Amino acid sequence: MHAISFSSWMRLSLFRLVLSFLLVVSFAATAFGRQTETLDTGKVTASLVSSLDRVAPGETVWIALRTELDEGWHTYWRNPGDSGEPVQLTWALPAGVEAGPIAWPLPYPTPTGPIVNYGFEGAPLFPVEMTVPNSAQDGDRLSFVLDFYYLVCADICIPEEGQLSLDLEVGEPIEDVIWGPQIQAAVLSSPRPGSVRGAAELANETLSLTFTNLPDGTISGAYFFPFDQGVLGHSTPQSFRLGKTGIGLMSAPEFLWANGIAETVQGVLTYTLDGETRGEVVTVATNAALDIGAPSISGPSMGLWAAAFGALLGGLILNLMPCVFPIISLKALSLAKTAHGERAAARRGAWAYTGGVLVTFALLAAGLIAFKAAGAQIGWGFQLQSPKVVGILALLLFVIGLNLLGLFEFGSRLQGAGQGLTARGGLSGSFFTGVLAVVVATPCTAPFMAGAVGYALAQPALTTLIVFLALGLGFALPFLLLGYIPGLLAKLPKPGPWMETFRQVLAFPMFAAAIWLVWVLILQTGANGTGLLLIAMLLAGFAIWVFRRGSGFAKGLALIVALGAAALPLTLSTGAADVKAAVLDSEVWSPERVAELRAQGRPVFVDFTAAWCVTCKVNEQLVLKTDRTQALFERTNTAFLIADWTNRDAKIAAELERYGRAGVPLYLAFPASHDDVMGLVLPQTLSFSVLEETLGQ
């Protein structure tokens, strides 16, 4: 027996170690991660993944298209909503293999301007169940080839496509330990038929949907996604109603109700059960209704107090929201001034602020109750849907900002209104700071608050009022506690020169809030309404400058100008007339037709669009399909051509590439001439003023 040298033993051990490592890697390669190489299609990377690494004859396997979307981009569900195209999978399968339908993920509403789409972001899986024939033999290799197409959208929409192929071996089944659990989770979370019953009834131009047989638990919200377009208005909010034995939704009907709707329609009902979102495929009987009972508070006192507690927490957190900061900073400045003075005065100021908050929340609740009773579909922040309110607030915050910078001080006669009420000392200043804080806070929704407010609006008036007062108490509580905790007040810096700097710094959040409100007004009224508000700001600034001149005449003139500035926002109204749909005279685009029209001496406007393009639809609703655009085209003798890229068109794709674009929308304006000048590219976010300026030239 020969002795083995140490060096030989080391070489043998190293060989065994390497061999073991290779065996482990080989095993892992067969037992983990049955996945194709990723394919980058532009805004999405795609791959095929499998629930099994090996499949038995006669058994099923799930194969899924895995997509990873760039941040801010989305694809579409089987019903894309107001625009878009669904993800499309076309399989080339081995002989005898049968493919099932896509197990669609739960969709989400994606609002863009006035339209709403249904789709996905992030990394959704699209699993399909494959059934292997009994005739398959162990050792066979099954090749699954997928041609896929999806529309990916953000500010623009880009169609992307590709092909992927995945091979599976037939034999004793082996689960893929990486993708098997993920695909199983995706399949289990995919909506499927359950026990829920549904019905839909049209009355007085309102579509009422009712659902019963829901699981036991607390349901706080719901949304219905129809499988087919034409059932309901995707962009119309779905008003939720909780009954004793079910739930109801109210929306707007779509064209199928006028053209003869089927006896049943299908869709996905999503609802929040005990804080968890669920989805279920429901068959809805049309021209029918289910009795869901009168509105009920689940657990007569527990539901109410849970909602009130949630509202209290939501009100506390609301103080941290950015839209509230500009106003509560005024209260912080007031506290800094009084922190080291008489404690009783600090407490009175805290209660005055709390009173302003509670009174305003009560008025908001009363307004919501009244509008709901009249059948209006409104909710939290409804007052900011009025351009008049938005305009007045923007002007008020602008003036407050000027005051904080020290450009003016109101005299005693003017301290009874507007900014003077929030800037002056005493109880009235604290009260109206609370009022303004609530009004400005309504665009924000804090955690715990959304469910509480949604619950309150579905309940009787007394419950609604209680929940809203709890929300107001939570909102005012930090300043109320400061008035009763001397230790906290004592830690605030003593008044001094720093306060003037602090006051001036606070002017800039005011200006930022005013800018935001101007942006809101642009969406509500368009350029004309925004112009009126800017003129009002100019007049307010002029009135302040005149007022500082000091003479009696100057102050009188300043008062007149200030009243004119304040009156201008009251003339604002929504741009309903501007966005009224109009049927535009249009032609189908072609390069030859553009050349012919220009040869006739006519300017040409070309709209490169598609039915699935979100931005295109927004521009159509707000700009192109309006009476004033029709009048502009007629006045300028402009020919309107549409290049519809809803379906693939090589000629349109080539023209887009010619202008350095990969997707729609694209808007081109051509002058009336015979030469071969390329079209002027207009902004993708179209406005009437840009259109008017371009065609006017």
Segment 613-638 shows an average pLDDT of 86
pLDDT tens for 267-292 read 999 998 877 889 999 999 999 999 88
| Per-residue confidence band for 220, with pLDDT thresholds at 50, 70 and 90 | confident
State the angle between helix axes of 507-547 and 498-505 in degrees (0 to 180), rounded to the nearest 10: 90
Residues in Cβ contact with 100 at an 8 Å cutoff, skipping those fewer than 6 apart = 128, 129, 130, 131
More confident residue, 83 or 493: 83
Range 141-155 burial, b when 16+ CB lie within 10 A, else e: ebebebebbbbbbbe
Helix, coil or strand: residue 175? strand
Whether pLDDT at 378 is above 60: no
Q: Please state the rounded mean pLDDT for residues 20-35.
A: 46
State which of 214-223, 376-385, 630-639 shows the largest mean pLDDT: 630-639
Decide: helix, strand or coil at residue 86.
coil
Quick one: DSSP state of residue 621? I
**Per mean pLDDT, which range of 59-73, 166-180, 461-475, 553-567 is the poorest?**
553-567
- Counting Cβ atoms within 10 Å, is residue 411 exposed (0-12), middle (13-18) or buried (19+)? exposed
Res 4 pLDDT > 60: no
Render the burial of 499-518: b for 16+ CB within 10 Å, e for the rest. eeeebeebbebbbbbbebbb
Q: Compute CA distances 266 → 229, 269, 363, 406, whole Å.
A: 11, 10, 41, 63
Give the model's pLDDT for residue 204: 80
Return the CATH number of the domain spanning residue range 587-696: 3.40.30.10
Q: Which two tokens stand for residue 494?
A: 């003593």
Q: Mean per-residue pLDDT for 563-587?
A: 63
Over residues 8-34, the mean pLDDT reads: 47
Question: Hey, CA dihedral for 388, 394, 400, 402, is it positive or negative?
Answer: negative
* Predicted local confidence at residue 501, as pLDDT: 79
193-286 and 587-696 share one fold? no
**CA angle (150 as vertex; 148, 154 as ends), nearest 5:** 155
The whole-angstrom separation of Cα 89 and Cα 102 is: 8
Going from the C-alpha of 11 to that of each of 1, 3, 8, 18, 478, the distances in angstroms are 19, 15, 5, 11, 74
Domain definitions of the chain by residue range: 1-31, 39-189, 193-286, 302-523, 587-696
The mean per-residue pLDDT over the stretch 491-496 comes to 60
What does the pLDDT average to over 21-38? 54
Closest CA to 312 of 275, 357, 272, 249: 357
Confidence class of residue 423 from pLDDT cuts 50, 70 and 90? very low
pLDDT digits (tens, 9 = 90+) for 346-364: 778 888 888 988 998 888 8
Average pLDDT, stretch 513-541?
79
User: Which of 298-307, 324-333, 578-587 is the most confident on average?
Assistant: 324-333
Query: Per-residue pLDDT for 301 more than 50?
Result: no
Q: What is the pLDDT of residue 321?
A: 63
User: pLDDT at position 29, please?
Assistant: 39
Average pLDDT over residues 40-66: 96
Where is mean pLDDT largest: 30-34, 514-518, 624-628?
Answer: 624-628
Phi, psi of 14 (to 5 degrees): -65, -40
Is 39-189 a CATH 2.60.40.1250 domain? yes
> Per-residue pLDDT averaged across 97-109, rounded?
94
What confidence score (pLDDT) does residue 569 get?
77
| Topology of domain 193-286, CATH | Immunoglobulin-like (2.60.40)
Helix (H) or strand (E) holding 413: none
The model's pTM is: 0.54
Pick from 105, 227, 157, 41: nearest CA to 612 = 157
How much is the pLDDT for 448? 56
What number is the average pLDDT over the span 234-247?
A: 86
- Taking residues 622-644, what's their average pLDDT? 91
- Looking at residue 336, its pLDDT comes to 59
Mean pLDDT of the chain: 79
Q: Provide mean pLDDT across the span 515-542.
A: 79
Which residue in 693, 628, 639 sits closest to 670, CA to CA? 639
Nearest alpha carbon to residue 118 among 90, 85, 150 = 85
The span from the CA of 499 to the CA of 336, in Å, is 8
**Bridge partner residues of 130 (DSSP):** 61, 99
Higher pLDDT, 317 or 46: 46
The CA distance from 439 to 283, in Å, is: 42
Average pLDDT for residues 178-200, to the nearest whole number? 93
Task: Name which of 278, 254, 285 is nearest 81 in CA terms.
Answer: 254
Residues 595-608 have pLDDT tens digits of 889 888 899 999 99
Phi and psi angles of residue 482, each rounded to the nearest 5 degrees, phi first: -60, -35
Has residue 144 got a pLDDT over 70?
yes
Largest CA distance in the chain: 124
